[in-house]
Structure 1
Amino acid sequence: MKKLYFLFLFCCASANSTITPEILLPAGSNQKQFQINTIGENSPIQYIQQNSSCNDAKYKNFYVPAEGTNSVDELSPGKIPFAQWFCLYATDIYEDGYGPGLAEGVSYSKTKSLWIKKKNKKTDISPAYLNTPYKPIDLYNISSPNSKGFAIISRNILISDRELSKNSPVKKIIYFCMIRDTEALCGVGSLVHNINGQEIDFTPYALKSLESMEIGIH
């Protein structure tokens, strides 16, 4: 019954794309300057599948203009803020959430029709986080043209997180899931990158990319 409820709830996701709380691209950015990236079996980013329903997902990868220039060439494919993709079953995300096992997690509220923060039980927190100072997460609810989901922004960084970025120290991590029908396209990535000596926070760009996500487009 739970599966049927969520299938009905999300099968007709609104075409009105939104991010809650609202977030805008930084001043000087141009929303019309982007490249279309496709997620699939041949994606250059690590892609793990429980099923193949997420194949051919597409999203806008917004360019970061170089400071003091009109260049839009600073955002190369190696600088996109996503490091791993996972095609999972939506029912698993509704039941268990998605994230690294922090002191806070997310759960879906049927009454509010939103993803909300929750405090995790100590037994649900990954041991690596138990002895480190905790920094509260930021949670965003996201609606894209044909999917809905959430993004978690975390500043709780472990040594093992260094693999998310080969060229820049990992300072902020995004965990997300976008859900369409019975499939959930989830992922993780590092949000702070060094471009030509400038430290760029990709948080607004990553969230806007998720807002543009279209899953199962052929």
Structure 2
Amino acid sequence: MKSLPLSISILLSASAPAQINPPVNIKTKDAHLTPTTYHISSKSPADFISAATTECRAKFTAFTYGEIEDHIYFKMISPISSWICVNAGEAMEYGYESTHTGEKAYYNYKNATWHIQTNPHHNKEISPNSMLDLYNITSKNAKGYAVIDSISLPQNPPRKKIHFCMIHKLQALCGDGETIRQEDSTNIDITPQALKLIESIEFE
């Protein structure tokens, strides 16, 4: 496992204005939407794995139609279906690799941002319309990334997988989920809401 230099851990945990790059906007002025704070840790009613030296404890804001109890939100509403706490060095070393696009999100230590690298040996004919979108995200006291892995395969409905890691000091809170849902036989894309959720993550 790759250790994280102290200077980089301080940089990643420094307080800064929350932002997503490239920017993402959602309509949060809907009178029916309620901003609700949820807490995530090993004690939460969520699919949560702790594999770090020190356990992650964080909170985030989700916009939902009315206040929803924690166990219902995490099991049925949250765009993030699984959470894992790992050491920061591990998150930065492995990043995320898409088997559909042959692209990988990796951390560039020189400019302290995440980038996408393409595998020249990947067979694009397998899923030519699939793509990987990368977002550099800064929250109140963490920095990290999210990727949207858009999967388009013949004879299959479109899918969007989301993966993220937010790093605070020596910890990284990561997660996975799906951001296309079917409601009343219609595909609903909740990618912006998922990204804004990640932007609101605050370690406790």
Q: How many equivalent pairs are there?
A: 194
Cα distance in structure 1, aligned partners of 2:84 and 2:193: 20
The superposition leaves residues 184-216 of structure 1 with CA deviations (integer Å, 9 ceiling, x where unpaired) of 10010010123455532111111111111012x
TM-score by length of 1: 0.76
Could you report, residue by residue, the CA deviation over 1:71-95 in whole angstroms, capped at 9, with x for unpaired residues? x249761121011001011111222
Distance 1:2 1:115 in 2: 16
Q: Say yes or no: does 1:144 pair with 2:143.
A: no
RMSD (Å) for aligned C-alpha atoms:
3.1
Q: Determine the C-alpha separation between the residues in 1 that align with 2:152 and 2:58.
A: 29
Describe how 1:1-218 pairs up with structure 2 within 5 A. 3-14=5-16, 16-26=17-27, 29=30, 33-51=34-52, 53-63=54-64, 72-73=65-66, 77=73, 78-101=76-99, 102-120=101-119, 122=121, 131-133=126-128, 135-156=130-151, 171-195=159-183, 198-215=186-203, 217=204
Letter of the 1:104 partner, please give it. E
Uncovered stretches (5+) of structure 1, i.e. residues with no partner: 64-71, 159-168
Which structure carries more strand by proportion?
2
Contact 1:26 1:204 in 2 (8 A): no
Could you tell me how far apart the structure 2 residues matched to 1:44 and 1:99 are?
Answer: 28
Identity of aligned residues (%): 30
User: What 5-or-longer segments of structure 2 have no aligned partner?
Assistant: none
Q: How far off its partner does 1:55 sit? A: 3.3
30 and 49 in structure 1: CA distance in 2 versus 1, 3 angstrom threshold = farther
Q: Secondary structure at the match of 1:42?
A: coil
